[in-house]
Each structure stands twice: as C-alpha cells, then as structure tokens.
Amino acid sequence: MSIVVVGSVFYDTIETPHGRAERQLGGSATHFALAASFFAPVRMVAAVGDDFGADALAVHRARGVDLEGVQRRAGTTGRWTGRYHEDMNVRDTLDLDLGVFADFQPELPPSYRTAEYLFLGNIDPTLQENVLEQLARPAVVAADTMNHWIDNARPALEKLLRRVQILLINDEEARLLSGEHNLVRAARRILGMGPSSVLIKRGEYGVIHFSGDSVFAVPAFPLEDVFDPTGAGDAFAGGFLGSLARAGALGERNVRQAIVYGSVMGSFIVEDFGFERLSRLEAEDVERRYRQFLALTEVA
C-alpha cells in the first residue's frame, strides 16, 4: 500500500541546549516521508523555492521516496528558526518566513491519485482538504494540525475532520480543539467531530490513543541524549502510518504495533539534528529498537 504525504519542506535553524545547526532540511513532509519510507512506498507533495539544493532530498530519493509531487517554484524555500529550552518540551519560534509555501497550491501528479494511504501534514486545513479531493479513493486518511489552525481556521478544520479517520494532535492542541482540559474527555469530544481514532502526542511522555472501544498508552522511549526534538511528531506519524500501510489493515493489533513503530522512529530522529539520524538508519536498527520498546513496556 502506498502513502501520499502533503506538508512543508523548510530550512530550519535550530538551537538546543546541545548546540546549533543552520539550514537543516526540515518540515513535516520531509520528516514524515523519510520515516515512513522504512515501511512502505511514499509519494511526497510539497513546494520548494529556486534556492533549493538539487541534492537536498538525495537521502529521500535513495530510500525510494517519490518526489514528483515536490514543486519547484520561483522564490525562496520556507525558513524556520527555533530555540529549545532545557526542558525540551518547550520551544520558541524566533523567526518564520513561509517563502513559496505562502501561496502553495498542492497539485498531485496523476500517479499519486490512486494511493491508499494519505497523511495530511500540518498545513492550512483548506489545503489539506484540497489534497484529499485529489485522491480517488483513499482507504485511510490521517491528519495533523496545530494551534494556529484551531484558532484561525476552525470551520475549515471541522469540515476536514468529518473526512479524517485518524487525527494526530498534541495534548495542548487537543485541549484547545475540544475545550476540555482532561485528555479522556478531550479525546471523546474529538471522536465526536469525525475521526474514529485520535492519537494524542505528549512529547517525552509518549502517546495515548483513543478509538471507539479502546485506549492504548505508551511511554516515550527513554533516551540519555535528546539532541534535537524537531520532527519527532512527524517521524512518529511516518513510522505509525508507514507501519499501518505495511500491515494493510486497521485492526487494533496493527494500530498498537504501528504506534510502537511510530514511537521508535520518533526516538531515533531526536538523537541528532534534523534527519541526520534517520539518514544513517538501517532497517535492522528499527527492528532492534522495536523489540527494546516491547521489553520496556511488557508487564510479564
């Protein structure tokens, strides 16, 4: 089963307590696609500027990611500068320049339109729906969103949510979207908005998944060195949806295993700046940490 992902491709400048990296390739589509490529064929949709390096996505290409949907346009690639606190759950955006992303109009190559899995990265919900419209008959639609869209584009977001099966969202966003502080109540209210499945991301505390009849919670993989948290949520989503696409069906067991694979990919990406760690990763590293993750959480 193949996955279409639409999202951002940005040059990030990142400061963490461990150091600083400039012009690091990032963005939701970038991180998602690379993480998902360990599990299933991925087709990427995004916009980059004429300053974009010809080889900037060479790692993706080498891993078989289809880049036909990455539009090169006149203007500059989006740029984000952020600084993480010692508590790396907290970050400040120091600078943001959307570049060609500001008037991005996603257009899917014909070969993309029959993909079965769709990931709508964190962009304007109107664009997310626009991409959804271009797919013939996606079997599974998953979406991410953020505070900005909840505050400023709620009607479009609510319209989209009625067509999304799986919503990935962090705890603060879940509270904002639902108006409920308690996460169990927040999830229940979001399930009433359309999705049959809500995945609440809690950073270093892991993930909790709610669907009609089940709750599943996993901690994050405990790491001695969290180097750069950027992209953890998108790498999680890539591992999660990639694993689901590889399994080919949405049963509870598949969903739980996919959440663990998502956690595994999230745990790798934070070990270095940008997607450096994923670019050196082998399939056997993924399986080894998957087994370690099971050992971390197995009661008996």
Binding site for a second copy (CB under 8 A): 86-87, 181-185, 202, 205-206, 208, 214-219, 222-226, 253, 256-257, 260, 294-300
| Residue 45: both structure tokens together | 């949709």
Which helix (H) or strand (E) segment holds residue 265: the answer is: helix 252-269
Residue 120's closest CA among 151, 171, 159, 83? 159
Task: Select 9 or 226, whichever has its Cβ closest to a second copy.
Answer: 226
Q: Which is nearer to a second copy, 103 or 252 (CB)?
A: 252
CB of 238 to a second copy, least distance (A): 19
Compare residues 54 and 300 and give the one whose CB is closer to a second copy: 300
CB of 260 to a second copy, least distance (A): 6
The residue among 162 and 253 lying less far from a second copy, judged by its C-beta, is: 253
Closer CB to a second copy, residue 61 or residue 288?
288
CB of 184 to a second copy, least distance (A): 4
* Structural contact between residues 79 and 51, judged by C-beta atoms closer than 8 angstroms: no
Residues counted in the chain: 300
Distance (Å, rounded) from C-alpha 174 to C-alpha 290? 27
What is the closest distance, in whole angstroms, from the C-beta atom of residue 191 to a second copy in the complex? Answer: 13
Strand spans (E) along 213-262 = 214-218
167: left (phi over 0), alpha (psi -120 to 50) or beta: beta
Nearer to a second copy, 64 or 192 (CB): 192
d(CA 19, CA 232): 18
Q: Which is nearer to a second copy, 8 or 170 (CB)?
A: 170
CA nearest to 101, candidates 143, 46, 150, 147: 46
CB of 120 to a second copy, least distance (A): 26
DSSP-based helix, strand, coil % in the chain, nearest 5: 40, 25, 35
Radius of gyration (C-alpha) of the chain in whole angstroms: 18
Beta carbon of residue 84, minimum distance to a second copy (angstroms, whole number): 12
State the minimum distance, in angstroms, from the CB of residue 213 to a second copy.
Answer: 11
Neighbours of 38 (CB within 10 A): 24
Residue number with CB closer to a second copy (4 or 199): 199
Phi first, then psi: what are they for 76, rounded to 5°?
-105, 150
Q: How far is the CB of 253 from a second copy (least distance, A)?
A: 5
Side-by-side strand order, sheet with 66-72 = 66-72, 42-48, 3-6, 117-120, 140-144, 166-170, 197-201, 207-211, 214-218
